Amino acid sequence: MSTKKKKVKKRYERWTPLYDKIDNFPFISRYQKKWKKNALEALDLSDGDKVLDIGTGTGEILPWIVDRMEEGEVIASDISEGMLERARGRLKKLENLPLGVDIKVVKDDIESSKFPDDHFDKMIATFTFTTVPHLEKAVSECSRILRSGGKMIILDTGRPDSVYGYLLFYPMMISAKVFGKTHIDRNVKNALAEKFEVQPIQKNMMGMAYTLECRSP
C-alpha cells in the first residue's frame, strides 16, 4: 500500500466516530443529502441489477439503494474497515429488507479492485474520486469491473463555473488538502473521459458540486 493511500486510510479510520456527525452538520447536510438522492435517481436502478457503491463510507446511501430494488445484488465497498463497520451497523437497523436483494459490505481498494471484469450493471461514487490517491488507477478499475453498456454516476466537487465562486473555493481547497487529503481541484471529468462516455447532468454551488453520468462503451 502506497504512502498516500495509507494516509487516506488512516484519516478515515481516525474520523470514523465523528464522520456521521460531520456529514449531518446543519445546513450542509441538507444539500448533500439532496445531491446524493438526485445522483441515485440518475442511476436508474432496476430489479436484477448488480450495483456497487464505491467508497461507501458509513453507508449513508445504502438504505436508499435497497429501497429501490426488490431483487439483485448490492455491494458497498470501502478501504476503511472502521467505516465499513458503521455501514454494517446501519444495515442491521433496517427493517423489511427485500429478501431478493443480496447485500454485502466489503473491504476493497478501488485502485486495485478484487471484483471480476464486467461484473456490475450500475455503480455510484459520492465524493470518492477527489479522495482516492491515484485517480487514473481508480478510473481504469471502474472501467474494468463495469460491464459494457453499464452506467456509473459520480457525485463530487470541483472548480466553480463563476469567478465569484473562487472566493469560497480556494479556502475549501486548502482545508480539504490539509485536513482531508482531498483534492477538489482535480479534473475528474477529464480523467473519466479517457475510459467512459461522460455526460454532466447536474451542477450545484456554482459548479463546485457536480454529477456526472458515465457510460461504459
Contact predicate 156/208, CB 8 Å: no
2, pLDDT greater than 80: no
CATH of the domain at 185: 3.40.50.150
Task: Please report the pLDDT score of residue 177 as a whole number.
Answer: 83
More confident site: 7 or 190: 190
More confident site: 4 or 162: 162
Contact predicate 216/140, CB 8 Å: no
Q: Residue 166: inside a domain, yes or no?
A: no
Averaged pLDDT for residues 44-51 = 97
Q: Which domain holds residue 61?
A: 3-158+179-215
CA distance 178 to 158: 16
Q: Residue 111: inside a domain, yes or no?
A: yes
CA distance 215 to 149: 6
Task: Please report the pLDDT score of residue 89 as a whole number.
Answer: 93
Range from 39-48, 167-176, 193-202 carrying the lowest mean pLDDT = 167-176
71-117 pLDDT, tens digit per residue, is 999 999 999 998 899 999 999 998 888 999 999 999 999 999 999 99
Q: Residue 28: inside a domain, yes or no?
A: yes
21, pLDDT greater than 60: no
Which residues, including other chains, have CB under 8 Å from residue 175's CB and lie 6 or more apart?
none
Range from 117-131, 134-148, 174-188 carrying the lowest mean pLDDT = 174-188
CA distance 206 to 58: 28
Q: Residue 71: inside a domain, yes or no?
A: yes
Q: Residue 164: inside a domain, yes or no?
A: no
Which residues, including other chains, have CB under 8 Å from residue 39's CB and lie 6 or more apart?
124, 126, 153, 154, 155, 202, 211
Total of domains in the chain: 1
CA distance 131 to 155: 12
Global pTM reads: 0.89
